[in-house]
Amino acid sequence: MLRRKVPACLLAALLIATGPVAARGRGDALVLVELAPGTTRARLERELRARSARLVAILPEAGVALARGGGRSVSRLLRSGAAVRVLTRAAPETLAAAAPAPKKLALDAWSSFLAGDSGGGAVPGGLEKDALIPPDWWDVEPTVEALALAPSSGASRPFGAGWENTSEYLAGSVSLNLILMESDGSVDPSSEDWSPSQESQVVAAAYAAAADLQQMYPHAGLSFTIHVFPGRTDPRARTSYEPISRPADPSGTGGEELWVTEILERFGYATGSRLTRSRRFADATRLADGTDWAVNVFVANSENDGDGRFGDGYFAYSWVGGPHVVMTTDNDGWGIARMDMVLRHELHHSFYALDEYAASACDCLAASGYLAGTNDNCENLCGTVTACVMRDNAALSCPATVKQVGLLDSDGDGTPDVLSSPPEISLRLDSADPSCDGLARFSGTAQVVPYPNSNPLNATPRRDISILRIAAVEMRVDGGPWTESGVTAADGAFDGPVEEFSRTLSLGAGRHSVEARARDDRGNVSLPASRSVEVVGEAAPVGATLTVSLEGGTARLRWAPAAGAASYRIYRAASPRALAGAVPVAETAVPDWADASTGNAFYEVTSVDACGRESAGQK
């Protein structure tokens, strides 16, 4: 297919604004990309990497993505055909007005994001009662215990994860379901009604939280897929209750149990406890998105509420380790303009971070997360503490939080330990040894190796999990250079946690050492696996060294050993011409044979290699 070159004047028209904007002070310039139809997240990430840019978040239903990188650099996506427009400033009103509802919401959110509060200035005190330790997983839904014990092999789940393991450590790709709950007034009077402006502010907060998390953990490879379900237009996000008029009651039956359960049933999750339903929704989302993890965020409109809190004082909280976060739009005194700060804090809880502010009654010795990180930055008599997202909501992390969310880099090489485990590989020789045709057929298995899970909490089954993928298998012969050439994946591509591979080598005569090693998508390399194979060369003829002598009436044949010979065949006939059709009268492994027969005889000796191939004869 021919690809037309995009004229420079058209590029300038499609790149809205004249230069990149370092949006809200969040590091490198952030831009909004309107995707071409059919552009997948995988393709977009490849195209961005090729231009030294990164995906921050993609909104599939809207067909837009938030990217980190200079506007001029990202604008080159237009030439690739992956994008139709790159926005560095607010979307023109005419563009947003003409867009379908999901895209209009995403464009309005981008404008709100650019115009929003950066999070500076005075902020309220710490969050309150916002980290909820879930019950042990086997007590949440006893009827699914047997299923929970069997890790799934679903292609899109991280290696080793089951459906319950939806947010084990804060690295890789994360799906967010933003559920903007709307009361239909059928049980409780409806006191809150979402407006398009409020919806765009919530999505803008998700943009900002995603950008902050990526900036806070640059070596974690974070990116987000965001789905928005506005109850104003989506019946699945509606409830017969008015959430803000009730207590949150997260551990009881009078609040979250009512509206979360009802909404999840409308999404198709009608059995099990609300935590089980929510986790299954998160799992189904990541399977559909091809992401590593997923978190659900239930947002209650509180604009008309006096204090922006639920009836029992809650305004934002998360179940530690997932599966969901609950927030109000006002978030007490934080306000909707700083909702991003609250959301990034709560998402840390979803990945097992504990609170560090004194009012949370934090415990210095408490441990949490995949790496069992202790709460050393807790304000309650734990010694020196530092600014941290879990202490004062700063866009900063501290060693205690880093370890709790699973991102400790113990050797300081720039890669978190959970992403540093080298893969393992096995190598098999599938053809005969020795090889008679000069070909050696190899196959093997390359597999990622999860870093051990030491989580002391039991929110989900404690499984060793890896989000890494095999990226390549290399082979070499007799200590030569490593090469990927000729190594093929059984499924057509090296992109999964377990890959079967094969390669056929053409080798010269002799014994050869063949090695294989695997490399994952973070550059970790396995120890090599090796096999040896012998290639049989054709035996050399006996040649002129053949002699015949009479010794006591016996004909004695002797010859020099022939290179590559495993044995020798002796032919005898009454005349030289008859040797052409003769059959062997003997086969010997040594270059010496005695013939006690009588009468005139003519002889021919051939060399035979280990594969049974016969050389030219010597008469």
Structure-token match 């509180």, residue found: 302
For residue 150, is pLDDT > 60? no
For residue 478, is pLDDT > 80? yes
How far apart (Å, rounded) are the C-alpha atoms in residues 446 and 422? 11
How far apart (Å, rounded) are the C-alpha atoms in residues 262 and 241? 9
- Are the C-beta atoms of residues 108 and 207 closer than 8 Å to each other? no
How far apart (Å, rounded) are the C-alpha atoms in residues 178 and 105? 13
Chain center to CA of 368 = 23
Tokens of 484: 């990927």
For residue 133, is pLDDT > 50? yes
How far apart (Å, rounded) are the C-alpha atoms in residues 356 and 363? 8
Query: What domains are there in the chain, each with its CATH number?
Result: 8-100+111-115 (3.30.70), 131-351 (3.40.390), 355-419 (no CATH), 421-535 (2.60.40.10), 543-608 (2.60.40.10)
Give 226's DSSP letter.
E
With H, G, I as helix, E, B as strand and everything else as coil, classify residue 276.
helix
For residue 108, is pLDDT > 80? yes
Give 70's DSSP letter.
-
Tokens of 132: 């909820």
For residue 530, is pLDDT > 90? yes
Structure-token match 């609170």, residue found: 355
- Other Cβ atoms within 10 Å of 82 Cβ, number: 20
Tell me the residue type at 79: R
pLDDT at site 146: 35
Tokens of 352: 């097992």
Tell me the residue type at 547: T
Choose among 264, 245, 263, 265: nearest CA to 255: 245
Choose among 112, 116, 110, 93: nearest CA to 34: 110
- Other Cβ atoms within 10 Å of 154 Cβ, number: 13
Tell me the residue type at 576: P
Q: What is the mean predicted confidence (pLDDT) over 374-387?
A: 89
- Are the C-beta atoms of residues 370 and 455 closer than 8 Å to each other? yes
pLDDT (tens digit per residue) in 213-229: 999 999 999 999 999 99
pLDDT (tens digit per residue) in 163-178: 999 999 999 999 999 9
pLDDT at site 438: 94
pLDDT at site 71: 65
Tell me the residue type at 347: L
pLDDT (tens digit per residue) in 265-307: 999 999 999 999 999 999 999 999 999 999 999 999 999 998 8
pLDDT at site 17: 37
pLDDT (tens digit per residue) in 364-378: 999 999 999 999 999
Tokens of 258: 């009512």
Tell me the residue type at 570: I
> Where do runs of H (alpha helix) occur along 93-157?
93-97, 101-115, 137-140, 145-148
DSSP string across 576-612: TGGGGG--EEEEESSSEEEE---S--EEEEEEE-TT-
Tell me the residue type at 254: G
End-to-end CA distance of the chain: 67
